[in-house]
Each structure stands twice: as C-alpha cells, then as structure tokens.
Amino acid sequence: MAVVGRHAVVIGGSMSGLMAARILTEHFSTVTVLDRDSLPGTPSPRRGAPHAEHGHALLLSGKRKLGELFPGIDSELLARGAVPFDPGLELLMHQMGALRQRFRSGDQGLSLTRALLEHTVRARVAALPTVEIRDRTAVCGLTGTTGRVTGVELESGETLRADLVVNASGRGGAGADNWLRALGCPAPETDAVKVDVGYTTRLFHRQPGERLAGGGLAHVMAGANGDKRAAAVFAVEGDRWMVTLGGWHRAHAPTDPAGFAEFAAALPSKAVRDVVSGARPVDDGEAKKFTFPAARRRRFERLRHLPSGFVAVGDALCSFNPLYGQGMTVGALEAVALGRALDTAGGTGPAMARAYYSAAAKVIDAPWQMAIGGDFAHPETTGPRPRGTAVLNWYTGRVLLASHVSAPVNRVLMDVQQLLAPPSAVLRPTTAVRALLVARRSPALLATALRKKEALHV
C-alpha cells in the first residue's frame, strides 16, 4: 500500500462512498467526503437515500469485506441490536413455489436496518484522522484539463483540488457525464434493463426472541410461474419486524394499511401473512414506497480513453435491481478493487482507471448476470438480453426445484447468491446431476400435478 497522492475527494456519503473513502486513506494523505444531504447524527433514514427505509441485505461476501475494512464492526453492530442468523437455517427462502431445504451453514449473517449500518460505518470513517466528511455540500462540476480531472467545483463557489475524484453519488451519478464531456472525455455506454420494480415497507413490533413461522429470523419470497410479486421479512434492531412487499412490472403493494394487509394476505407465504395479520404496526400511518424503473450498468471498461484522476463506484457505476440485495456487497468489493488498482498503477492516471474498471467489471459480472437472468423470467422485461438466458433460466429453475428437497443443492445456491461462489458453481457435474435427478420430487411440482389431476375430475 503506497501513498500515491495528497488529496482524494469522494462525491457522496453512501455506503459505497464510505467504503471507498476507507480504502483511499491507505493511498492519500487526506480524504474528503462530500454529501449534499444533511447527515443524521443518529441511526435514522435520510432524504438522500430514499430506499434506506426498506429491507436491505449485506450478503456474506460483503459482510466479510466490511469486517476486513473495519475490524470489530460485527461486534459493534450486534451490540447496537443487529440480529444474527444462520443464512442456511434461519433465512427462509420461498422460491419456485416452495421453501428451500434448510441446513446449518456455520456462517453468520446480520439482519439490521440500512440506517443502523450506514450510521455505524460513517462514524468509523469519520473517526479516521485523515478523513473529513462534509454534509450539505453539493458538487456542481469537475475541474481539470483535457482528459484530466483535477478537482471539484461546489455550488458554494469553492473549488477543491484533488489527485483523485471518486464519484459515489448513486443512481444520479450519470449526471457526471456532462462534467466529463466538458473535459473532453466521452461518456460510457449504458445497459438498461427495464424492470419497473416497486415495493412498500412497514415496521411491526416483534416480541423478544420471537421467530417466524418455520423458525426463521429472515424470509424472502419470490413468485413462481408468472407471479411477479415478491416479499421479505427481516428481524431488525429494536425488537421489530421489517416487512417489504412488492414486485416487478407494477406488481406493487399499496401504502395504506388496509391495502398493505390485503396484498400480504394474498401471498403464498405463511411467514409474511402471520406477521402482517398478527403483529402490531410500529406506525399506523401510510407505509413507505420506493420505485425503481430500470437496472443500469455504465460500461466504463469499454471506453478507449479514460480520464486521469476520476473513477465511479457503487450505483454510479452499476445500479442493480434492489430486490436481489446485491448493491452494498458489490460496493465493498469495488472499494477493494480500487485499492488494488492504486497499488498496481502507483498513481491516478488512465492506467489505474483501466485496471480498476477491468476489475470492477469482473466484480459486477456475476451479480448482474444473476439479477437480469431473474428479471427476464418476466416477459415484460426489456433491455439487452444476454445470449442463452432462456436456457440458463430453465436450468436455474431445475436447480431451485431441487433445492426444495436437497440441502447440498441449496448450499451451492446460497454460496452463489451470497457472492461466495461464481454462478458457474451450479453447473458443476455433481450439482447438475443431483439437481436434475431430484427436481422432480419438489413439493411445488407435486402440488401442481395434484391441482391438474383435481381439475380433470371436476
């Protein structure tokens, strides 16, 4: 780890921005994080992160990287009320019409609100001696010469010089394209997959030690056979259940209490139905809703000419369909990739940017492939469809059916979904043979066959 510059600026105090700032302290004498939002001094949602009031997941891969960046943070989060759970045993996954077979994984996940996680990480970053976090500070442009970024312009009129500017301004980060064009830098191509996702969240009181039907502490449901609905329930700090309901292509849950309860009651998930019908809401008012029209991946790695002194991370580089819970974990992996690129290049020139974007593309490839593969299971989804998606989705369906009865198959699936193993892991011969042999025993298939038989006798 070598110091390659005096000053780095991070635009955006998001989770990705904070993790990037932590990495940058190893390579720059000072790091400044700028955020236009008013950052709360307590673990509470903020206006600049409208999805922060909904269910979030820090996948095991991201949790491990976060622990490496901030030693002891797991214990700190647990002390603040985060709920530990075994992702193989206590995360109930209802996919393709049935629950996946549970198993004791030996791993520990953490269930908590985005507000608690972000507040804890921000406090850790703010405590670093070479970091300054400035809120209520908006960036309106970049400074520099042709092909070289040298700093940022603030709406206040102030200019901050920097050896590296990191754009972590979220989904709106594409606005920086105009700033780059002004310096003679082309904008990247963008892959957009229209999913029209929307979801609604309510908090419910949870009795101390209470578990979901089936013994879980977290539950995720995705519809099958054309059902575009999805749902999630997480035990979070403060003895609360966080319930998020919604889905793809306008299968959105209402915000009024009666409509929210009616949506939940119609779901094929006992865990969701029981919490919404039996637990007392924390707030009797309208639930919170968030909409997400399209997943977007900005292809910086395809540009022939990259600017010196500038990179993008997090949603400013790739914004995933949030129903898959991949964003924060990918942000952590991108931060690590940025550190390695700075080490390798020994500077902030185009070679560093090229190395970073190449590594970041490899980080993004697997979760992007998994997410848009699932999105294209719905015929309404539009955008660049990867070759072979239909065949891969058919095979993935067989694997999911097998996971209803086979713990080894479910273990492989869990490792892939937690970004601990590549998607190709489900294609390994042992898993493929087992999946194709046992998929026919899925209770979802047996239930479908029974309904068809009953229909013939009506």
Q: Could you tell me if 244 and 231 are in contact, meaning their C-beta atoms sit under 8 angstroms apart?
A: yes
pLDDT at res. 12: 95
User: Are 136 and 259 in the same domain?
Assistant: no
Quote the pTM value: 0.93
CA-to-CA distance for 456 and 116, rounded, in angstroms? 54
User: Are 17 and 74 in the same domain?
Assistant: yes
Please give the tally of structural domains in the chain. 3
105 assigned to some structural domain: no
Minimal CA–CA distance to 49: which of 24, 25, 14? 14
Residue type, 54: H
Residue 385 is encoded by which pair of tokens?
Answer: 């469809």
Residue 453 is encoded by which pair of tokens?
Answer: 């038989």
User: Are 182 and 330 in the same domain?
Assistant: yes
Q: Which of 292, 307, 324 is the last residue of a domain?
A: 292
Per-residue pLDDT tens listing for the chain (458 residues): 678 899 999 999 999 999 999 999 999 999 999 999 999 889 888 877 767 788 888 899 999 999 999 999 999 999 999 999 999 999 999 999 999 999 999 999 999 999 999 999 999 999 999 999 999 999 999 999 888 999 999 999 999 999 999 999 988 766 788 888 888 888 899 999 999 999 999 999 999 999 998 899 999 999 888 899 999 999 999 999 999 999 999 999 999 999 999 999 999 999 999 999 999 999 988 899 999 999 999 999 999 989 899 999 999 999 999 999 999 999 999 999 999 999 999 999 999 999 999 999 999 999 999 999 999 999 999 999 988 888 999 999 999 999 999 999 999 999 999 999 999 999 999 999 999 999 999 999 876 655 555 555 54
User: Are 273 and 365 in the same domain?
Assistant: no
Residue 390 is encoded by which pair of tokens?
Answer: 């239909």
pLDDT at res. 47: 76
378 assigned to some structural domain: no
100 assigned to some structural domain: no
Minimal CA–CA distance to 179: which of 218, 150, 208? 150
Q: Could you tell me if 399 and 411 are in contact, meaning their C-beta atoms sit under 8 angstroms apart?
A: no
12 assigned to some structural domain: yes
Q: Which of 292, 326, 345 is the last residue of a domain?
A: 292
User: Are 172 and 35 in the same domain?
Assistant: yes
User: Are 220 and 322 in the same domain?
Assistant: no
User: Are 185 and 197 in the same domain?
Assistant: no
Quickly list DSSP for 250-312: T-PPPSSHHHHHHHHHTSS-HHHHHHHHHSPBS--SPPEEEEEEEEEEEEGGG-SS--BTEEE
pLDDT at res. 251: 96
pLDDT at res. 250: 93
User: Are 248 and 395 in the same domain?
Assistant: no
Range of the domain at 413: 389-448
458 assigned to some structural domain: no
Helix, strand, coil in percent for the chain, rounding step 5: 40, 25, 35
CA-to-CA distance for 261 and 430, rounded, in angstroms? 43
121 assigned to some structural domain: yes
pLDDT at res. 447: 62
Burial class (CB in 10 A: 0-12, 13-18, 19+), 424: exposed
pLDDT at res. 457: 52
Q: Which of 236, 271, 292 is the last residue of a domain?
A: 292
CA-to-CA distance for 60 and 424, rounded, in angstroms? 18
CA dihedral 259, 260, 264, 265 (to 10 degrees): -40
310 assigned to some structural domain: yes
User: Are 163 and 312 in the same domain?
Assistant: yes
pLDDT at res. 105: 96
User: Are 198 and 138 in the same domain?
Assistant: no
376 assigned to some structural domain: no
State the residue for tokens 């990191």: 166
User: Are 155 and 235 in the same domain?
Assistant: no
State the residue for tokens 């009031």: 53
Quickly list DSSP for 65-95: HHHHHSTTHHHHHHHTTPEEE-TTTTEEEEE
User: Are 277 and 426 in the same domain?
Assistant: no
Give the domain CATH number at 161.
3.50.50.60
